[in-house]
């Protein structure tokens, strides 16, 4: 496999959300200028010469669109200077509603960005405030109008469920409003209370609780049903799209393919190894300016790990894992590698097999982590 995807991390945010455990820092113009200089040095290390042809590029965060228009254009020019944007099939930027004025939307389109992932989370203003978000419901509509005016129609929005004080009815209202936008792609995630977040501190003090598990299950099933009725199919545990609008970059991860990880805290997967960059911003900058190599840790990926990851990443896709593709890549059938794990999970009603594909059942989608753990060889 060749490296044909890149993830680029922009760690700055106007506000730190109460649930977020990604690498992020409050936006500071001077720090952002330094960071962009460091990013270019790191990119030079991966692509020192002619532009590299990429299938997908994904710029995430943080909030990439929190950059000023001048900084955003510098970033876009930098990416264009290292990667062949004209031949890139999918070029995604993450954005938050409220951060995108028309100038920024036009800049993204001008430099070849053809997909936007918009962090909506919920259409309920009270819940948005409780999450620590700074946007309001009306900002969602305004930003989507600006993107469409700029010529970017491939827009995905994120929705969260299982939020504190969120009822099934409130989640249904958000789903209905999301569907009224007639977008090609939707992602939806259950809230996870992660360490070192505001929510985790409140949870430890007994000041925060999630809805009952049965309500979360009902929200997930409601989401599946409503999107299916609109012709939007479920292609990965947390992702739904109209045909032809699946996230090609995320499929890179789920297909266990190689990608660069560029920026503070970014993860990459290169031949024979996974990489993790330094997370703290001062330490990242210092290391890049010293030698251009901000990798904190390299983990060798041997055949055993590759086969494990092939299963638990591939099973996130609704089509599942192809026995034929697995054997083509590793010259072994999954049953030879994992013993009776597949049959055992089929007997438990968590997996099924259809046309040479091993995939999760509806019950398996609710207990995915249990299924994935069954494919750890040791």
CA 374 from chain centre, in angstroms, equals: 24
Number of Cβ atoms within 10 Å of the Cβ of 239: 23
What confidence tier does 368 reach under pLDDT thresholds 50, 70, 90?
Answer: confident
| pLDDT tens readout for residues 247-264 | 999 999 999 999 999 999
pTM of the model: 0.94
Give span(s): CATH 1.10.10, the chain. Answer: 318-373
List, for residues 201-256, the tens digit of each pLDDT value.
887 888 888 999 999 999 999 999 999 999 999 999 999 999 999 999 999 999 99
Structure tokens at 207: 């000041």
CATH architecture of 5-254: Alpha-Beta Horseshoe (3.80)
Residue ranges of the chain that CATH labels 3.80.30.20: 5-254
Say yes or no to pLDDT of 21 above 80. Answer: no
Let me know: does 78 contact 37? Beta carbons within 8 Å.
no
What would the DSSP string read from start to end of 134-181?
---HHHHHHHHHHHHHHT---EEEEEEES-TT--HHHHHHHHHHHHHT
Identify the CATH assignment for 318-373 out of 3.10.590, 2.40.30, 1.10.10, 2.60.40. Answer: 1.10.10
């Amino acid at each position: 496999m060749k490296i044909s995807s890149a993830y680029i991390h922009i760690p700055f945010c106007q506000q730190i959300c109460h649930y977020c455990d990604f690498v992020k820092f409050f936006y500071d113009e001077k720090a952002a200028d330094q960071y962009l200089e460091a990013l270019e040095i790191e990119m030079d290390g991966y692509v020192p010469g002619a532009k590299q042809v990429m299938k997908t590029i994904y710029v995430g965060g943080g909030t990439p669109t929190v950059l000023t228009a001048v900084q955003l254009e510098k970033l876009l020019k930098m990416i264009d200077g290292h990667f062949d944007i004209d031949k890139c099939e999918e070029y995604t930027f993450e954005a938050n509603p409220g951060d995108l004025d028309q100038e920024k939307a036009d800049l993204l389109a001008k430099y070849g960005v053809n997909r936007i992932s918009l962090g909506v989370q919920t259409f309920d203003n009270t819940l948005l405030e409780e999450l620590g978000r700074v946007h309001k419901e009306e900002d969602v509509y305004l930003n989507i109008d600006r993107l469409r005016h700029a010529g970017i129609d491939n827009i995905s929005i994120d929705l969260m469920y299982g939020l504190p004080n969120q009822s099934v009815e409130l989640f249904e209202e958000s789903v209905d409003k999301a569907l009224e936008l007639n977008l090609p792609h939707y992602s939806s995630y259950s809230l996870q209370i992660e360490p070192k977040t505001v929510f985790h501190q409140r949870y430890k003090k007994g000041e925060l609780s999630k809805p009952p598990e049965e309500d979360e299950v009902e929200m997930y099933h409601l989401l599946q049903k409503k999107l299916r009725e609109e012709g939007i199919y479920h292609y990965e545990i947390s992702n739904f799209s109209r045909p032809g609008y699946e996230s090609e970059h995320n499929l890179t991860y789920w297909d266990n393919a190689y990608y660069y990880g560029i920026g503070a805290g970014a993860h990459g997967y290169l031949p024979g190894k996974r990489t993790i960059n330094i997370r703290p911003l001062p330490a990242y900058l210092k290391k890049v300016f010293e030698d251009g190599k901000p990798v904190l840790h390299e983990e060798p990926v041997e055949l055993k790990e590759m086969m494990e990851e092939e299963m638990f990443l591939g099973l996130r896709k609704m089509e599942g894992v192809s026995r034929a593709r697995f054997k083509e890549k590793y010259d072994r059938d999954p049953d030879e590698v994992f013993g009776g794990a597949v049959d055992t999970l089929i007997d438990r009603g968590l997996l099924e097999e259809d046309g040479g594909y091993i995939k999760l059942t509806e019950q398996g989608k609710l207990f995915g982590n249990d299924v994935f753990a069954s494919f750890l060889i040791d």
